């Protein structure tokens, strides 16, 4: 049993579990760093998974599928942005409604477009890449022999996001509108604009995260296939302290837990308890038991420009 | 002057849910039209299916029972400034606790105690699941929104484990993930025979049961709790201004915890319609998103018990209409979930616009 857990295949499957979470968690980082809580990530992932399947099915190319998922994710995110930035509606309420909309909407469209109840036809995913040099290393090389391009892309985005948020003017401004919008506004930063950008980026990344599920995990769209992964991504983002590399680390931890859970299935250990790990860890972090979690100070608070 | 302003506010409060619902129906009508169907005919057909006969009404009331109870649970939290997204998990834990107590504990007691026992466990189960995020919020200030979301998933996994392993129905060849059946003395009677006796022909197959009466009592209870008791006053004070209520000598930590406990207990109670009144057992994940719909019901009902009766009925009717869509049309029934989401969004936006409008009016009145 232990051999089956401590195998390179576990690492491979952990990476595959990590990737959709990491895209969505990074999306969460951009949104919440700009000051907008985004529990609509679940719906964004779902709609991304669906439109990735639609694009790939009708155009025969997973690349088109990805493009579709980005646009769909941004579309849903735009509604969240308008509702919570312009109309200043409670962001949890907006997110809850959008999750309902995505769940109902994707099932509705899937039944209309694919006729068959419950799922899309089989779709083609990306050709896996074999990473030169790395795949020649004995042992761990196995992991790099057959890697989804999206996994490689995910690593690039994680590092790029860390750089953008902490080393560029854009990143500084994005963070400033989430920490202290009044001060940022006084200094001439357009609070609304940066919040819109933050939420839209989260839509694009969340959409790609969902696309990974339909294109690479299942090669088919199934109703409600996200199954709460958007919420796990949110948990990972908190566990990672609203920071790209930290969030990736948390996603990877959750990915390992998921991979181990799959390996334990059928052995008789109740997998439900492993399933709980990400959620319990998140609660411990929030309770301050695993270091203090500091959310952006103005996260979730609509910004009201002073009226003169 | 003041009275006139209040009247306008009340009128707008009643008007805005109606307008939102109409907008959603128009939006749905456009979708139906785009699919090449006649929206008016379609609506006529599904609405008369849901509301044009006693059986349909029975189903609407049956659906509304759960929605009202969850709506009240969420509203109690909202009134105290707490966002309880955890109703889903609280329903599951309350429902399982209730079913287990009925199957394994009640038989040790005389039959007349069976119902009180399963009720108490439903309340306790829900309250316990809300206690954890409640105490974390009260003691450590940990945000209840994230914690209740996490508790939902933990609750789902836990009840799934318990109902598949130790508490699964035994002695059946292909058992579903469900508990054994409750003794009859621990279940709630159907209401069809009563309605038949007063000349309303609800067939015996209709699931409407005595939980409806519990829901009505819960509405009355919530009204008295929030507006006629000291505790309710403190809950509302906390909800409208936590700092001021602390200065006024209210024990904020205690009220946060108590509000969460009552909200969770009410969510646990929402399980009875299915567990005690319909299936007579706990079926894995029976709630199926009920806790999230409860948020919509509370919002649409403006967090007021009377409003929640109407929004619960509306959502109950919409759910029945979804079945009608399946039977009479080729339009996927999920169009109804889309409409529900549109209702929440329009009402939330409408609220904000209204608030701004009222604020501007007040400012004008001040300068006039």
Residue-level pLDDT at B60 = 98
Please state, in angstroms and rounded to a whole number, the distance separating the CA atoms of residues B339 and A105: 10
**CB atoms closer than 10 angstroms to residue A8:** 13
In CATH, what number is assigned to the domain containing residue B144?
1.10.3470
Please state, in angstroms and rounded to a whole number, the distance separating the CA atoms of residues A38 and A199: 8
Residue-level pLDDT at A225 = 93
Same domain, B167 and B73: yes
ipTM for the assembly: 0.87
Residue B203 resides in a domain: yes
Q: Choose the closest CB to B341 out of A101, A286, A287.
A: A101
Same domain, B126 and B273: yes
pLDDT tens-place string over residues A224-282 = 999 889 988 998 998 898 999 999 999 998 898 888 877 777 666 788 888 888 889 88
Residue B129 resides in a domain: yes
Decide if A100 and B340 are in contact by the 8 Å CB cutoff.
yes
Residue-level pLDDT at A246 = 95
Same domain, B357 and B287: no
Residue-level pLDDT at A308 = 47
On whether the CB atoms of residues A267 and A1 are closer than 8 A, the answer is: yes
Residues from chain A that touch B334, judged by Cβ atoms under 8 A, are: 103-105, 107-108, 111
pLDDT tens-place string over residues A105-146 = 999 999 899 887 678 888 888 888 888 888 788 777 777 878
Decide if B332 and A107 are in contact by the 8 Å CB cutoff.
yes
Decide if B85 and A103 are in contact by the 8 Å CB cutoff.
no
Same domain, B59 and B22: no
Decide if B158 and A272 are in contact by the 8 Å CB cutoff.
yes
- A39, A108, A241, A301: which to substitute to probe chain B, counting the most B Cβ within 10 Å? A108
One-letter-per-residue 3-state SS of chain B: CHHHHHHHHHHHHHHHHHHHHHHHHHHHHHHHHHCCCCHHHHHHHHHHHHHCCHHHHHHHHHHHHHHHHHHHHHHHHHHCCCCCCCHHHHHHHHHHHHHHHHHHHHHHCCHHHHHHHHHHHHHHHHHHHHHHHHHHHHHHCCCHHHHHHHHHHHHHHHHHHHHHCCCCCCCCCCCCCECCCCCHHHCCCECHHHHHHCCCCCCCCCCCECHHHHHHHHHHHHHHHHHHCHHHHHHHHHHHCHHHHHHCCCCHHHHHHHHHHHHHHHHHHCCHHHHCCCCCCCECCCCCCHHHHHHHHHHHCCCCHHHHHHHHHHHHHHHHHHHHHHHHCCCCCCHHHHHHHHHHHHHHHHHHHHHHHHHHHHHHHHHC
Least Cα separation, residue B338 to chain A (angstroms):
5
Least Cα separation, residue B136 to chain A (angstroms):
7
User: How much is the average pLDDT of B75-102?
Assistant: 96
Same domain, B367 and B237: no
Residue B159 resides in a domain: yes
**CB atoms closer than 10 angstroms to residue A42:** 29
pLDDT > 70: percent of chain B:
98
Residues from chain A that touch B146, judged by Cβ atoms under 8 A, are: 234-235, 238, 282, 286
> Whole-number mean pLDDT of chain B?
92
Higher pLDDT, B295 or B368: B295
Q: If one looks up domain A2-126+148-286 in CATH, what number appears? A: 1.10.3470
Residue B26 resides in a domain: yes
Kindly state whether A116 is in contact with chain B, defined as any CB-CB distance less than 8 angstroms.
Answer: no
Residue B349 resides in a domain: yes
Least Cα separation, residue A121 to chain B (angstroms):
18
Same domain, B152 and B270: yes
Same domain, B108 and B243: yes
Using CB atoms and an 8 Å cut-off, which of residues 234-253 of chain A contact chain B? Answer: 234-235, 238
Same domain, B186 and B169: yes
Same domain, B227 and B313: yes
Q: Is the pLDDT confidence value at B364 over 70?
A: yes
Residue-level pLDDT at A121 = 86
Please state, in angstroms and rounded to a whole number, the distance separating the CA atoms of residues B262 and B279: 25
Q: Choose the closest CB to B143 out of A99, A232, A286.
A: A286
One-letter-per-residue 3-state SS of chain A: CHHHHCCHHHHHHHHHHHHHHHHHHHHHHHHHHCCCCCCCHHHHHHHHHHHHHHHHHHHCCHHHHHHHHHHHHHHHHHHHHHHHHHCCCCHHHHHHHHHHHHHHHHHHHHHHHHCCCCECCCCCCCCCECCCCHHHCCCCHHHHHCECHHHHHHHHHHHHHHHHHHHCHHHHHHHHHHHCHHHHHHCCCCHHHHHHHHHHHHHHHHHHHHHHHHHHHHCCCECCCCCCHHHHHHHHHHHCCCCHHHHHHHHHHHHHHHHHHHHHCCCCCCHHHHHHHHHHHHHHHHCCECECCCCCCCCCCCCCCCCC
pLDDT tens-place string over residues A54-70 = 999 999 999 999 999 99
Same domain, B201 and B320: yes
**CB atoms closer than 10 angstroms to residue A122:** 11
Kindly state whether A91 is in contact with chain B, defined as any CB-CB distance less than 8 angstroms.
Answer: no
Cβ pairs A/B, distance under 8 A? 126
> Whole-number mean pLDDT of chain A?
90
Residue-level pLDDT at B352 = 84
Least Cα separation, residue B226 to chain A (angstroms):
22
Residues from chain B that touch A282, judged by Cβ atoms under 8 A, are: 146, 150
Residue-level pLDDT at A268 = 66
Q: Choose the closest CB to B352 out of A39, A89, A270.
A: A89
Decide if A89 and B348 are in contact by the 8 Å CB cutoff.
yes
pLDDT class of A198 with cuts at 50, 70, 90 = very high
Q: Choose the closest CB to A94 out of B142, B145, B348.
A: B348
Q: State the total domains in chain B.
A: 2
Please state, in angstroms and rounded to a whole number, the distance separating the CA atoms of residues A259 and A18: 9
- A36, A101, A281, A303: which to substitute to probe chain B, counting the most B Cβ within 10 Å? A101
Decide if A94 and B165 are in contact by the 8 Å CB cutoff.
no
Same domain, B228 and B188: yes
Tokens describing residue B190 = 């159907």
- B154, B165, B298: which to substitute to probe chain A, counting the most A Cβ within 10 Å? B154
On whether the CB atoms of residues B267 and B87 are closer than 8 A, the answer is: yes
Residue B317 resides in a domain: yes
Residue-level pLDDT at B312 = 96
Residue-level pLDDT at A5 = 66
pLDDT class of A291 with cuts at 50, 70, 90 = low
Decide if B160 and A272 are in contact by the 8 Å CB cutoff.
yes
Residues from chain B that touch A286, judged by Cβ atoms under 8 A, are: 136, 142-143, 146-147
Domain limits at B256? Answer: 54-330
The full set of domain ranges for chain A reads 2-126+148-286
Same domain, B127 and B274: yes
Residues from chain B that touch A100, judged by Cβ atoms under 8 A, are: 292-293, 296, 337, 340-341, 344
On whether the CB atoms of residues A26 and A158 are closer than 8 A, the answer is: yes
* A111-120, B50-59, B329-338, range with the lowest pLDDT: A111-120
Residue B43 resides in a domain: no
Residue B184 resides in a domain: yes
* B74-78, B160-164, B344-348, range with the lowest pLDDT: B344-348
* A128-137, A204-213, B5-14, B145-154, range with the lowest pLDDT: B5-14
């Amino acid at each position: 049993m232990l051999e089956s857990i401590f195998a390179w295949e576990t690492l491979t499957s952990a990476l595959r579990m990590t990737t959709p979470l990491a895209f969505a968690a990074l999306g969460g980082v951009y949104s919440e760093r700009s000051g907008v809580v985004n529990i609509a990530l679940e719906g964004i992932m779902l709609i991304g998974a669906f439109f990735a399947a639609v694009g790939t099915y009708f155009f025969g190319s997973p690349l088109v599928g990805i493009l579709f998922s980005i646009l769909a994710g941004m579309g849903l995110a735009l509604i969240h942005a308008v509702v919570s930035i312009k109309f200043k509606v409670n962001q949890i309420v907006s997110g809850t409604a959008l999750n309902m909309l995505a769940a109902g909407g994707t099932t509705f469209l899937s039944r209309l477009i694919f006729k068959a109840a419950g799922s899309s036809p089989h779709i083609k995913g990306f050709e896996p890449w074999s990473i030169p040099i790395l795949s020649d290393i004995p042992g761990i090389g196995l992991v790099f022999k057959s890697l989804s391009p999206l996994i490689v892309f995910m690593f690039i985005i994680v590092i790029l996001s860390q750089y953008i948020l902490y080393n560029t003017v854009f990143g500084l401004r994005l963070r400033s509108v989430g920490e202290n919008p009044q001060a940022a506004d006084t200094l001439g930063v357009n609070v609304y604009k940066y919040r819109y950008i933050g939420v839209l980026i989260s839509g694009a990344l969340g959409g790609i995260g969902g696309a990974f599920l339909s294109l690479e995990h299942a090669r088919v769209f199934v109703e409600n296939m996200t199954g709460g992964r958007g919420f796990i991504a949110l948990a990972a983002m908190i566990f990672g302290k609203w920071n790209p590399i930290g969030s990736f680390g948390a996603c990877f931890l959750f990915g390992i837990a998921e991979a181990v859970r799959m390996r334990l299935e059928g052995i008789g250990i109740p997998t439900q308890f492993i399933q709980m790990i990400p959620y319990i860890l998140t609660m411990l972090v929030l309770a301050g038991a695993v270091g203090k979690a500091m959310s952006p100070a103005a996260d979730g608070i609509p910004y009201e420009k002073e009226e003169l | 002057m003041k009275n006139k302003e209040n009247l306008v506010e009340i009128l707008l409060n009643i008007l805005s849910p109606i307008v939102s619902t109409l907008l959603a129906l128009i939006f749905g009508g456009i979708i139906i039209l785009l699919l090449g169907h006649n929206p008016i005919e379609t609506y006529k057909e599904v609405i008369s299916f849901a509301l044009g006969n006693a059986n349909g009404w029975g189903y609407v009331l049956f659906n509304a029972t759960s929605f009202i109870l969850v709506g009240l649970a969420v509203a109690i939290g909202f009134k105290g400034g707490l966002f309880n997204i955890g109703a889903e998990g609280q329903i599951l834990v309350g429902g399982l606790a209730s079913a287990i107590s009925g199957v394994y504990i009640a038989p040790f007691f005389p039959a007349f105690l069976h119902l009180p026992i399963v009720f108490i466990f439903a309340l306790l189960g829900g309250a316990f699941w809300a206690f954890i995020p409640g105490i974390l919020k009260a003691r450590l200030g940990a945000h209840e929104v994230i914690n209740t979301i996490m508790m939902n998933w933990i609750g789902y996994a836990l009840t799934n484990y318990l109902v598949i392993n130790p508490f699964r129905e035994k002695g059946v060849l292909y058992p579903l993930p469900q508990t054994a059946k409750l003794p009859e003395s621990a279940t709630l009677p159907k209401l069809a025979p009563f309605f038949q006796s007063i000349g309303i022909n609800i067939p015996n197959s209709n699931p409407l049961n005595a939980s409806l009466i519990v829901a009505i009592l819960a509405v009355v209870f919530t009204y008295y709790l929030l507006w006629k008791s000291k505790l309710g006053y403190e809950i509302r004070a906390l909800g409208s201004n936590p700092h001021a209520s602390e200065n006024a000598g209210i024990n904020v930590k205690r009220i946060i915890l108590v509000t969460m406990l009552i909200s969770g207990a009410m969510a646990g109670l929402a399980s009875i319609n299915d567990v005690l009144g319909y299936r007579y057992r706990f079926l894995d994940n029976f709630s199926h998103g009920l806790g999230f719909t409860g948020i919509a019901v509370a919002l649409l009902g403006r967090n007021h018990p009377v409003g929640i009766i109407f929004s619960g009925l509306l959502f109950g009717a919409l759910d029945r209409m979804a079945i009608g869509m399946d039977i009479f049309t080729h339009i996927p029934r999920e169009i109804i979930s889309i409409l529900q989401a549109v209702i929440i969004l329009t009402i939330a936006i409408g609220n904000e616009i209204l608030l701004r409008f009222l604020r501007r009016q007040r400012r004008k009145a001040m300068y006039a």
